[in-house]
Chain A
């Protein structure tokens, strides 16, 4: 119980997202087609700085640590939404409760970028528009013919040639990375000689 005279800070809560991207770090081939596709469907151009998914690599790194896949986790308790002073970052009920930026409300303060607890931050700075942008599970991707969002398709999932990105409906374990970094490999991957464990 809070002491008398002090404000109790209640945990920030938001309706659960209806979809989450999970990835297989050991299956990714580092081709970054997902980044190209993401920026393409959202921006009409391929632009790695504006991709909502970021793949960071070291050519001489040791498998599997040579690649990190930075996807927005659509957090159960989204720090970005909590931190936004203008309510630009909001839970988009019309798009399956994805955590989304309303660009018209964003004043470019970048607080959300710092608030994201993951590195690299899953909040993306759109340097041309002066606003923050983020993964909306392609719910509002103007340069794509498909319906996106948790009930639709996501460009990164569709494009990935290794089928290393997947949409799930249940919220993954929030603690650590294990809920979001999953094993999507089957016996055919093993037949090629690659590890399946």
Chain B
């Protein structure tokens, strides 16, 4: 195998406790990460219609060729398999995480791990270079994710931390990288995460529960090898090109926030330490994943909420001002003001961060518990939940929003106590148990537009994430387009400043960079007409192809890639599409173009589509929850719109999707992808030129090949 690769993949069958090897070269055409995982899943998962909890489910954990080398934001690790979180079908799905697991895995000599079967008792996997053992995890079962990792560090290193430690003939100062589940995964929660270090999580998909079903507590990797790169001179040179032209200069920034400690401004200038989103309340540092120049998370003086970010640090700030009114986001300062007695702001911030740590220690997916938290509060106001109520629950609703309440709430989910047993199924399934699902999806009280996953953005506003999700498997969590198109006007609105770039100029940059579909600004028109256009079909197709290759397979992080708009560049023009292939080729020695990568992404997207079709996917299912079509959005959301011959940022609140027009749009999208417009199934004429003839054969055998 060539530059950028370790050369082999670790294959574990937990049922018979066998360890074997797959030659990475067998799957080289898929490049890495997601592509590898999809291809291996296709080959090894014999019945793709089983539950995510079934021993026959195959879970893959794949690094990309860039992981462990020196390319900005390139250490994402991709987990795939049948995800228990999906509803009504547990779709074959994915989840990725950062940190340093993928690099350590490769330094140990492995490009990925495949997990099959189910152990007859709890196990953990100890990988030290080529030496792989399946260890007894009964002593770890029941521990949270932090204690689990610390215990494994102690066992692997003999408690010799912070100094050189001998590993065979070599030495290392680095701790083993551990991936593990907490109590939620052990209790087969469908909203359980797999955690690594302080706050890196494979969240959406429910893989924590899938691990629990396999009796798999943890995988620890430690490597003392290296990754050879094809052209180290070119790689360093490309990094310096990136640093000089596009990275935020912490000593002398080209573009600085208009307000001190204004962390939302990272959307504009990619400044460090900002993705916990909440302002900085105590001394801390920005903390980056291995090889990342942006360093989006933090480590705190208190040590609380270290490495956690985004929703995991934000959800604990959800509270009520004053008690009894609607839920709202709150800064610690607002919290102090909303309380009857003077309170220490920093103490409140710490209380919130303790909640973040508890969430990650149990290994629970914040997205679902956030929406369930709000849902519960509204049901409480409706007198529908409480002791002896329709939903019998003894949570202290008079303390809703407090650390005490959230601790009780998380515990009941982690251990499946009381209604926590329902919530551990994911909120949509829980609502089904309570007989509320249908009505609440009609009204929008249950904001779950697709596949058992909550909204990421409002599906009636920016639409790109939600369109991608309904055509896929899970909350797409893809910020390619919404960071610039929505983030720029949003930041301007918060800071009461003019947007740093006009809508027309922004759309111009975007439309130039979306190779090979460049030259159509209407791809970024979020007016009513723009939601159903042929141009929108191109937007979604481009996003899926890019994500499937450059992000999910190569391993580039969603926050850094693609980079259309860049406030650190004098002309605001980011490093996409040049950067992707420059770094990739320097590492691998291949000579692919940006568009070559997009084509591999299209191929991978089609293979995934084929798996979903085998699982039961049909175009008739690709329909949002009723509220998306029936209830106009009330949230303020600014996006570029093209109306009356002019571009501007406009608030698109007040609209719902038009169901008929969305159905017509789907036909445009299927046509663009070369899928059957009646069924949504891929056709042979699409699959064969992609080298997926055997996939077409399998679909045909099952009577599911598009015509």
Interface residues of A (CB under 8 A from B): 26-33, 36-37, 39-41, 43-50, 54, 56-64, 66-68, 70, 113, 119-121, 125, 127, 143-145, 155, 158-159, 161-163, 184, 186, 188-195
Q: Which residues of B contact A66 (CB under 8 A)?
A: 285, 299, 303, 306
Q: Is the CB of A46 within 8 A of B227?
A: yes
Q: What are 11 A-B contacts defined by CB distance under 8 Å?
A: A29-B272, A29-B287, A31-B295, A36-B291, A39-B226, A48-B224, A49-B170, A58-B161, A70-B173, A119-B162, A158-B236
Indicate if B256 sits at the interface (CB-CB under 8 A): yes
Distance in angstroms from A114 CB to nearest chain B CB is 11
The answer for the CA separation of A58 and B174 in the assembled complex, in Å, is: 10
Distance in angstroms from B236 CB to nearest chain A CB is 6
Q: Is the CB of A188 within 8 A of B232?
A: no
Q: Is the CB of B306 within 8 A of A161?
A: no
In the complex, the 9 A-B pairs of residues with the closest C-beta atoms, listed nearest first: A47-B226, A161-B293, A193-B280, A31-B288, A193-B261, A29-B295, A59-B198, A45-B226, A127-B170
Q: Is the CB of A143 within 8 A of B232?
A: yes
Q: Is the CB of B251 within 8 A of A186?
A: yes
Q: Is the CB of B252 within 8 A of A36?
A: no
Question: Among A63, A145, A161, A188, which residue has its beta carbon within 8 angstroms of that of B285?
Answer: A63
Q: Is the CB of A59 within 8 A of B256?
A: no
Interface residues of B (CB under 8 A from A): 68-70, 107, 146, 150, 161-164, 168-175, 197-198, 224-229, 232-233, 235-237, 239-240, 243, 247, 249-253, 256-257, 260-261, 263, 271-274, 279-280, 283-295, 299-303, 306-307
Distance in angstroms from B130 CB to nearest chain A CB is 14
Q: Which residues of B contact A50 (CB under 8 A)?
A: 226
Q: Is the CB of A59 within 8 A of B164?
A: no
Question: Among B68, B283, B289, B292, which residue has its beta carbon within 8 angstroms of that of A46?
Answer: B68
What is the predominant secondary structure among interface residues of chain B facing chain A?
loop
The answer for the CA separation of A194 and B274 in the assembled complex, in Å, is: 11
The answer for the CA separation of A26 and B287 in the assembled complex, in Å, is: 11
Q: Is the CB of B261 within 8 A of A31?
A: no
The answer for the CA separation of A26 and B283 in the assembled complex, in Å, is: 10
* Given the contacts A36-B69, A45-B226, A59 and B307 also touching, CB distance less than 8 Å: yes
Q: Which residues of B contact A195 (CB under 8 A)?
A: 283-284
Distance in angstroms from B290 CB to nearest chain A CB is 6
Q: Is the CB of A37 within 8 A of B236?
A: yes
Q: Which residues of B contact A161 (CB under 8 A)?
A: 243, 247, 250, 272, 288, 292-295
Distance in angstroms from A179 CB to nearest chain B CB is 21
The answer for the CA separation of A172 and B660 in the assembled complex, in Å, is: 73
Given A50-B226, A66-B306, 16 more pairs with CB closer than 8 A: A28-B285, A30-B299, A31-B291, A41-B232, A44-B229, A47-B226, A48-B224, A59-B307, A61-B306, A63-B301, A66-B303, A161-B243, A162-B250, A162-B286, A193-B273, A194-B285
The answer for the CA separation of A44 and B225 in the assembled complex, in Å, is: 13
* Given the contacts A188-B256, A194-B286, A40 and B295 also touching, CB distance less than 8 Å: no
Question: Among A46, A56, A120, A194, which residue has its beta carbon within 8 angstroms of that of B280?
Answer: A194
Distance in angstroms from B429 CB to nearest chain A CB is 33
Minimal Cβ-Cβ distance residue in B for A125: B171
Question: Among B172, B236, B292, which residue has its beta carbon within 8 angstroms of that of A144?
Answer: B236
Distance in angstroms from A170 CB to nearest chain B CB is 21
Distance in angstroms from B218 CB to nearest chain A CB is 15
Q: Is the CB of A120 within 8 A of B233?
A: no
Q: Is the CB of B229 within 8 A of A192?
A: no
Distance in angstroms from A173 CB to nearest chain B CB is 24
Q: Is the CB of A143 within 8 A of B233?
A: yes
